[in-house]
Structure 1
Amino acid sequence: MRISRVRHIVAMSLLLSPLPPCAAEEVPGDPSLHIHAAGSLGGALRAIAAQYQLETGEKITMVFGPSGLLREGIEKGNEAHLFLSADRQHPERLAAEGKAAAPVIFVRNTLCATARADHTLTTDGLLDYMLDPATKIGTSTPKADPGGDYAMALFAKAETVHKGAEQILREKARALVGGALPKPSDMQPKAGGEQGAPAPTKQFLLNGTVDLFIGYCSRRETRRDPDLISVPAPKALAVRADYALALLRDKSPERQAAAARFALYLMTPRAQAIFADYNFTPIVAPSHLD
């Protein structure tokens, strides 16, 4: 049996046996499925959710933001039935607190470096470019946003290639995005459309605030932007980002079941193909995709 098939079976067993809900009661108000998701999932998740709604008729409401801040909001009582994080740590914390079922990895991401198109940027020369005293580096905010934590992990790997690199890069880096959660608002998913994070990142690059931004390779619109150039990190600096989902405890068994159904849908070939189109790394082999 293929490894991907085994993983899928394990994921299904976890999702189909979620946390027992609190004592069932009638839940007034918005009947939609509330999903809190990492901002980097914006474009892909909107496309997937739009397709899912066409197929099922279920209503979905989504809030995007830095995973760490979303997790804090859930701990404080923000309504969410499904949490899609850019890492495993935040959903694992909710599970340890008894607020969620054990997390399941549903897709992966990698890190890329982005600069203005007029810069000479290559994968092989990335570390030298980062270490150049003239290069200003931007990242997401560590702890609040896993993207920043992954950037720090890349800096740590740089130390194994060039002694002293980690300290140099940490001192140079500026946390520019992912440090504040916008006011939550109900956003109906639409096919296409990108989450807001790349826009300020592009602005910081074009106005010279930074020369280089370390972020996810899944920014599809960055790859198509003539003003920017983006290259993947070299193998020696590569950092794998595991995205994990967690079903949250809910008073309504129906909503919890609805969250489990959408979570399983995220791991279907159809949904994984959409993730791949946005340059995420599917958890199912590409040959299995529709």
Structure 2
Amino acid sequence: MGLCAVLSVIGSIPAHAQQAHSTLPTLAAASDLKFAIEEVAAKFEKETGQKIRLVFGSSGNFYSQIAQGAPFHLFMSADENFVFKLADAGKTEDRGRLYAKGRIGILVPKGSALKADGELNDLAAALKDGRLKKFAIASPEHAPYGMRAMEALEHAGLWQAIEPRLVIGENISQAAQFATSGSTQGGIIAYSLALAPQIGSKGDFALIPETWHKPLAQRMVLMKNAPEPAKAFYQYLGTPGALAILRKYGFEVPAR
């Protein structure tokens, strides 16, 4: 299944089982979690026999959909403020819990004219000498990772100069695809995606200092009347095995 697929179902589901599939508990997860949560969910299914339907996208879009009644049972946001807004609107069981802190960095594809320089000095030079034609980030409007990318570029004094050259992904997974496809000279993506072999093998990556942007405090929450398998997965995400997978993908996880 391609990187930009918004739907990932754990386990193979034959055609005659589509009706059963539609009743699976559904997790709406920020796109930076794609590889990590697919791995956690596969481990959860193997250990418990329970399946979770995974949908990946931008946290801002999920917030809007849930606020309008979309049938998600568990929400893993890349920005905790979306969870707090849903809680204040009475959509959730509680105010959820912090599950990770994310990081961003610059990724340049193999053969790019750019260097993977976390302090963006080469990006600044490329803007001046004409090497930079196109650069990818996620949408600052919908995607927390896109907003943090904008903040980092502003910190470096590059936002106004680079804005006309930006290629905007709907979410951070799409931005990563743009950054590695050869249609851009690079982009700012999630550390968790750069650590996945499917992405990291396509280029070079360097972390951007976390002091250059607001924290990526990532929070998850159960919706009201969530079914038991969704509750079980919510609890499973706090187990040592699940936390180890999140750490493997570069997430800083809170002490339990």
Which TM class, normalised by the smaller chain length? 0.7 to 0.9
Equivalent in the alignment of 1:212: 186
The 3 A distance-change label for structure 1 pair 235 and 85 is closer
Q: Tell me the TM-score normalised to structure 2 length.
A: 0.78
Unaligned regions of 5+ residues in structure 1, if any?
Answer: 1-27, 160-164, 180-194, 286-290
Matches within 5 A, 1:193-208: 198-203=176-181, 206-207=182-183
The 3 A distance-change label for structure 1 pair 125 and 37 is closer
Q: Tell me the TM-score normalised to structure 1 length.
A: 0.69
1:121 corresponds to 2:115: yes
Superposed displacement of residue 30, structure 1: 5.0
Per-residue CA shift, 1:133-170, capped at 9, x if unaligned? 232321111121212111112123224xxxxx443344
Equivalent in the alignment of 1:9: none
Amino acid at match of 2:212: L
Equivalent in the alignment of 1:176: 169
Unaligned regions of 5+ residues in structure 2, if any?
Answer: 1-19
How many percent identity over aligned positions?
24
C-alpha contact 2:167 2:178 (8 A) present in aligned 1: no
Rg larger in structure: 1
2:126 pairs with one of 121, 129, 132: 132
1:95 pairs with one of 72, 87, 95: 87
- After superposition, the CA RMSD in angstroms is 2.7
Superposed displacement of residue 122, structure 1: 4.1
C-alpha contact 1:130 1:137 (8 A) present in aligned 2: no
Per-residue CA shift, 1:164-208, capped at 9, x if unaligned? x443344543313429xxxxxxxxxxxxxxx776434422xx13x
The 3 A distance-change label for structure 1 pair 282 and 239 is same
Superposed displacement of residue 55, structure 1: 1.6
1:111 pairs with one of 104, 111, 118: 104
Matches within 5 A, 1:1-290: 30-100=22-92, 101-118=94-111, 119-123=113-117, 126-130=120-124, 132-133=126-127, 134=130, 135=132, 136-159=134-157, 165-178=158-171, 198-203=176-181, 206-207=182-183, 210-219=184-193, 220-221=196-197, 224-225=200-201, 227-234=202-209, 237=212, 240-250=215-225, 255=227, 257-284=228-255
Superposed displacement of residue 236, structure 1: 5.1
CA distance in 2, matches of 1:114, 1:222: 13
CA distance in 2, matches of 1:84, 1:124: 27
Instruction: State how many pairs are aligned.
Output: 229
Amino acid at match of 1:271: A
C-alpha contact 1:110 1:238 (8 A) present in aligned 2: no
CA distance in 1, matches of 2:59, 2:216: 13
Superposed displacement of residue 52, structure 1: 1.0
Per-residue CA shift, 1:243-267, capped at 9, x if unaligned? 11011112x6xx1x44333222212
